[in-house]
Structure 1
Amino acid sequence: MARVVELSYYPVKGCAGTSAHEALLTPAGLAHDRSFMVVSDEGVYRTQRRDPLLAVIRPLITPDGEHLTLTAPGADCLRLEVDITGTRKPVDLFGTAYRGIDQGDEAAEWLSDVLGARSRLVRVPPGHDRVTDGLTPGTSGYADSCALHVLSRSTLALLDSKLTERGAGPLPADRFRPNLVVDGWDEPHTEDRAHRLRIGTAELGYAKLAIRCAVTLVDQSAGTRAGPEPLRTFAGYRRATQGGVAFGTKYAVLRPGTVAVGDEVDVTVWGESEL
């Protein structure tokens, strides 16, 4: 029987995640997931692809979403009252124009000092109307694409065995920044074929494979690039027909609800892998 064994959300895009035992699943993903984003002075998104130090910033959001705390090694703790009513300013996410509510100069100065680059913090405005792509359309905050990223332990175990064969060490799950980690699927990459899931009181629809990028090269505890793995190994066995390498699966939310560690993952519709 497959079950959820890890549950994580990422309040600030690119920054460290928060582990939870239980979470509300909204139409845009786990509550507070990627609801904030670090941008340049010009409003262009920052991610670990170019700013790996984002990984060492640890956000903590209160359950009501009204207060955000940021910590980082060598920096004072920053506590913010979240602004959801301010002026909506243009922001750029992968070349697409969205809107964000700037969280003020104190947050901007703190982030600029930690990252060594002029930065500001924005929040998704109420009524954010983004539509995500894939087999099942949906919505999300400032995630790269779809609302939820699912990865199985058997998939991770296969990668670790291949890394070991190459003389490299295993990698922790946080290198891939999943929202849900599932155990109990014996066959690696079962998530590629699980096209509709019931978990807790929620239901998910398969959107697409997760195409991996340079973020997987970043040591999440150090905020530094850690060599060519796992992309080098992925290239040998996980090349996607649409280009790049695939590892894990993205889902849209068909029915919001509550999900928790220990919940059974019930596959109600199976499909073919796109790989």
Structure 2
Amino acid sequence: MATVTELRYYPVKGCAGVRVEQAELTRAGLAHDRVFMVVDEEGGFRSQRRDPLLATVRPTVAEGGGRLRLAAPGVEPVALAVDTEGPRREVRLFGTPYRAVDQGEEAAAWFSQVLGSPSRLVRVPPEHDRVADGLTPGTSGFADSSAVHLLSRATLDDFHARAAGAGAPLPVERFRPNLVVDGWSEPHTEDLLRRFTVGGAGADAEPPAGPGADLDREPGAEPGAELGYTKLAIRCSVTLVDQTTGAKAGPEPLRTLARYRRATAGGVAFGSKFSVLRPGTLRVGDALTVSAWGPSEL
């Protein structure tokens, strides 16, 4: 049986993650995950692919998402009141247009200083209705695609065994997962998941459908969050960035992954992505209960 060993959300797309012991899982992923995004003057999103210094930015969410604190080496930190009501502006994520709420001049000046290029900070608006693709469609904020990225410790350990002699083991942060799980003996078991439950249901969870759906549940028991598989996680040059310094530190892991994890559709796969079918509360130590498996798409 696999259990959750790490939970992380990334408030600002491309910036450092926040590791927690408990988190609410919403329809769009872990609460506060990638609700902010840094864009250029034309509204195109900034990524560690071209702006690796994003990795050095440490965001902190406070007051239930009402305030955002930003810190980075060599720059005075800034604390911002989050705006969800301001004018919408068009932004682009992988060429697809979305609407976002600009977070003002102070945030723009701060990120422009950190990145050395004119930038603005935007937030997902309350009416955001993005549909993420994959085997199980869902929604997400400004994540690359699906709401949740899951990686198993067995998969990471197998990579390190194959990359032996290529340098120090890579920290899991290099792969930027939301959930890290342990307990499977075989690597890449996450590729075979199709549906699973974990944790307890949140306040906005939907009740089970159908007559008698609750008959086997103990009184007061929570049904757990449910997730559905969307696709393999195809890795890019972000994995080459040292997540502490913001420096390119390649060629690993892409060099080793290219030897054994080439995907049919192109690129190399490592970890899997999921849509949220039922929200809930996740905690480190929660067990995964798998209700459906499928073949690997590799």
TM-score, normalised to structure 2, is 0.91
User: 2:251: which partner in 1?
Assistant: 228
2:267 is the alignment partner of 1:244:
yes
Which residue of the other structure, out of 231, 250, 268, is the alignment partner of 1:208? 231
User: 1:268: which partner in 2?
Assistant: 291
**Runs of 4+ deviating beyond 4 Å:** none
1:237 is matched by which residue type in structure 2? Y
1:59 is matched by which residue type in structure 2? P
User: 1:167: which partner in 2?
Assistant: 166
1:174 is matched by which residue type in structure 2? E
User: 2:26: which partner in 1?
Assistant: 26
SS in 2 for 1:139: coil
CA distance in 1 between partners of 2:269 and 2:198 (Å)? 23
SS in 2 for 1:60: strand
Q: CA deviation at 1:62?
A: 1.4
Q: Which 5+ residue runs of structure 1 have no aligned equivalent? A: none
1:103 is matched by which residue type in structure 2? Q
2:67 is matched by which residue type in structure 1? H
SS in 2 for 1:206: strand
Q: CA deviation at 1:63?
A: 5.0
CA distance in 1 between partners of 2:120 and 2:101 (Å)? 10
Task: Please tell me the root mean square deviation across aligned C-alpha atoms, in Å.
Answer: 0.7
Q: Which 5+ residue runs of structure 2 have no aligned equivalent? A: 200-223
Please list the CA deviations of residues 135-186 of structure 1 after superposition, one character each: whole Å capped at 9, or x if unmatched: 000000000000000000000001111111x433210100000000000011
SS in 1 for 2:163: helix
- Map 1:121-136 to 2 at 5 A: 121-136=121-136
CA distance in 1 between partners of 2:268 and 2:68 (Å)? 35
User: 2:205: which partner in 1?
Assistant: none
SS in 2 for 1:249: strand
CA distance in 2 between partners of 1:81 and 1:193 (Å)? 42
CA distance in 1 between partners of 2:103 and 2:169 (Å)? 38
CA distance in 2 between partners of 1:168 and 1:235 (Å)? 17
Q: In the alignment, is the contact (CA less than 8 A) between 1:151 and 1:181 conserved in 2? A: yes
SS in 1 for 2:76: coil
SS in 2 for 1:182: strand
User: 1:143: which partner in 2?
Assistant: 143
SS in 1 for 2:139: coil
CA distance in 2 between partners of 1:43 and 1:206 (Å)? 30
CA distance in 2 between partners of 1:189 and 1:10 (Å)? 23
1:179 to 1:63, Cα distance in 2 relative to 1, 3 A: farther
- Map 1:1-275 to 2 at 5 A: 1-164=1-164, 166-200=165-199, 201-275=224-298
Identity of aligned residues (%): 65
